[in-house]
Amino acid sequence: MITGLTGKTYDKLQLNAGVFLAGFDHSGIADAQAMKAALRAAISDESVCLGATRGGGIFQCTPSLRSIEADGARIACAGGMINDGWTVKLSATLLETTPASFQRVFGAADVTTDGARTTVVPRFSICGEDYIPRLCWAGDTSAGFVLIELDNALNVSGAAFTFTDKGEGTLPVEFQAHMSDPQNQDAAPCRVIFISGVSAQEV
């Protein structure tokens, strides 16, 4: 039998649902042990962690491709494909129902608190502070961690709060990444980072 399964396959798997973090700074983290400690601290910070999710999540980085058409070209030719841009999204279903969750789901919203009463009001205008400058999904791998980070993330799917009898309310989100600088469009506004179990000093 021919198969792609090898003795190293089980060292190359992504495991479990991971966690969504807003503003998580991982720039100085060089190994898996430091990443584990930083993630634990981030998860305990309610201003950073988006909370528990249900059903995992989806990362999409979709090119906008078009093929250059020319008389005589009967099939697509190498070199004749143009990428007009990227659409980058991270989606999940939030399980924790909080004012912060609804603010992120609305995308553009104002939050006011008066004692025990907190009110979230969606608005028409989208302000710069509505974007999440760095939205990160972090997950386990067999050998360490993998992170997917979006720049200037904004939920573009609106609110669809679902509540059921004998169940829990859920809030689906679909965050889309946006460029910071219109003059710098050489790469998509996202990145995938792997942190292996081997420290940077041991590599």
Each residue's pLDDT tens digit, 85-96: 999 999 999 999
Q: Strand pairing partners for 153?
A: 132
Closest CA to 178 of 58, 86, 66: 86
State in words which class domain 16-70+78-196 has: mainly beta
Residue 81 amino acid letter:
M
Give the pLDDT of residue 200. Answer: 39
Three-state DSSP class for residue 82: strand
User: Tens digits of per-residue pLDDT, 60-77?
Assistant: 999 999 988 888 888 888
Could you report the per-residue pLDDT of 131-157, keeping only the tens digit for each? 999 999 999 999 899 999 999 999 999
Where are the domains positioned within the chain? 16-70+78-196
DSSP H or E segment with residue 99: helix 99-106
How confident is the model over 146-190, as pLDDT tens digits? 999 999 999 999 999 999 999 999 999 999 999 988 888 889 999
3-state secondary structure of 56: strand
Give the torsion sign (CA, 159, 165, 168, 172).
negative
pTM of the complete model: 0.88
Cα first-last separation, the chain = 35
Tell me the residue type at 66: R
